[in-house]
Amino acid sequence: MTEQAIRKILGEHGRLSVDSTAVERSADLYELGLTSHASVNVMLALEDAFDVEFPDELLRKSTFASVDAIHAALTELGV
């Protein structure tokens, strides 16, 4: 369920050049069109969807670099 929600949010807010449902889990989202501005929108949408807040130590490019990285960050936050 979490991965599907991540992919849905990426599709809605990530401005990727490809379909978010077809992206490999480890694919570099920045290479697929994710910008720093779009990553902030993704982060805000994730916070709303999962009722969490990303702490300062997770506010870095690598946190949002792939579906796996986002999933790991959410897991760290108890999702």
CATH number, domain of 43, equals: 1.10.1200.10
Q: Which domain holds residue 6?
A: 2-76
Please report the pLDDT score of residue 30 as a whole number: 98
pLDDT digits (tens, 9 = 90+) for 9-20: 999 999 999 999
At CB < 8 A and 24+ separation, what contacts does 21-29 make? 23/67, 24/67, 25/66, 25/67, 25/68, 25/71, 26/66, 26/67, 26/68, 27/66, 27/67, 28/65, 28/66, 29/64, 29/65, 29/66, 29/67
pTM (2 decimals)?
A: 0.96
pLDDT at residue 26, as a whole number: 98
Structurally, how many domains does the chain consist of? 1
User: Residue range 29-52: average pLDDT?
Assistant: 98
1 pLDDT band, cuts 50/70/90, is confident
